[in-house]
Amino acid sequence: MTSSLPLRQLGSSGLRVSALGLGCWQFSQGRGLFGGFWANLPDGEIDAIVSATIEGGINWFDTAEAYGGGQSEKALAAALKKAGQGPDQTIIATKWMPLFRTARSIGKTISRRLDSLSGFRIDLYQIHQPIAIATVRSQMAAMARLVKEGKIRHVGVSNFSAKRMIRADQALRRLGLRVVSNQVHYSLLNRKIESNGVLDAAKERQISIIAYSPLEQGILTGRFHDRPDLVRALPSSRRMMGGFRPARMARSRPVIEALGEIASRYKATPAQVALNWLIHFHGETVVAIPGATKAAQARDNAWAMSFTLTRDELDHLDRVSAFYKK
C-alpha cells in the first residue's frame, strides 16, 4: 500500500489526514504514571512500527505529554527521522495534561513539547481530558495564543462531553479559531458518544471525532475470546482497565462472530473489519488511532483502509453492537 489513499479533512482545519492514524501511547517505554500500561518496546521495534505505518499510507501520529512524560514524543520523533520523514510529510497530534495545572501551564510547557518532538511541528494540540482547575475559556485562550505565535497549528480536545466541547468551540470562535477534533473512546464495544450527544454535536459543528481504543484494547481482534491464557499474559493494569472480565467477553461474542463472518468475505481480519466500520459508518466524521506493538500489527491496521464495507454490512454491525450505545 502507498500513501495514495484518499485523505479526509480534519474538522474545519486544513489538515488532510488518512482515515487511520497511529496511536503512540505504547511508545512510553514503561515511563511515567501511564507508561506501565504497556510493555517496554525497544527502539528497534518502535522504528519498525513507524516505518510500517508510513508504508501503509498513514500520514499522522497521535501522542501526548502524559505518555511517559514526553518519552512517546521523543521515541516517535526519532523513529520518524530514521524513516526519512520531515515535518512537511507527517502530521503530529499531541496533548497537554490539565491535572492540577492552570491554563498558564499551556504556554509555559509548550517548549518542552517542541523539544521532545525534535523539529517536528505540532499540527494538532489537544486538551487531554476535561478534569481541570482551569476553565474551558482560559484553556482555549491559551491555546489560541500558541496558534497566533506559530507554536501550534490547530486546537483539539479529548474526552470532552458534548456541552464542554461546544463551550470550547464557542470560546475559540470568539478568537477567530475553531475546535477541530474531540478525541474520545469509541469502538463497536463502546458506542456511548452516539447516545450522549457528543457525536451529534460534532457533526453539527464540523468537529472530527478521533476514536481511541478502536479495537477495545485488542478484544475486537477476537483472539482473546477462546484463549484465556492470552488474557492472563497481559499486564495487570491492562487487564483491569481493558474490560477483559469473563462476563464482558461473553457479551461481546456476537459482535466478534459477526466481524469474523464479514472478514471472511474480504480475506480480512475481524480487527480490520471493526476499524473499517468506524471510519465509514458515519461518513468522514470519525477517524481512528489504533495502536500497534509490532510492525505486523501496524501493517494490518493500515490494510483496513483498503476496502469499504457495504451499507448492509455496516448496518448489520450496527444492529449486533447496538447494546453498546447505552
Of residues 316, 317, 325, 290, the one with CA closest to residue 304 = 290
What is the C-alpha separation between 285 and 191, in angstroms, rounded?
14
**CA 288, CA 67: separation in Å to the nearest integer?**
18
Query: Is the CB of residue 197 less than 8 Å from the CB of residue 167?
Result: no
Helix (H) or strand (E) holding 13: none
Which H or E run includes 57?
none
| Cell numbers representing residue 166 in the block | 461546544
* Of 247, 182, 183, 191, nearest in space to 216 by CA: 191
Catalytic residues: 67
Q: Three-class SS string for 211-254?
A: EECCCHHHHHHCCCCCCHHHHHCCCHHHHHHCCCCHHHHHHHHH
Other C-beta atoms lying within 10 Å of the C-beta of residue 227: 11
DSSP H/E element including 184:
strand 179-185
At 234, list the grid cell. 497481559
In the block, residue with C-alpha cell 497511529: 22
Query: 129: buried, middle or exposed (CB in 10 Å: 19+, 13-18, 0-12)?
Result: middle
How many Å apart are CA 96 and CA 23, to the nearest integer?
16
Q: How far apart are CA 159 and CA 225, in angstroms?
A: 28
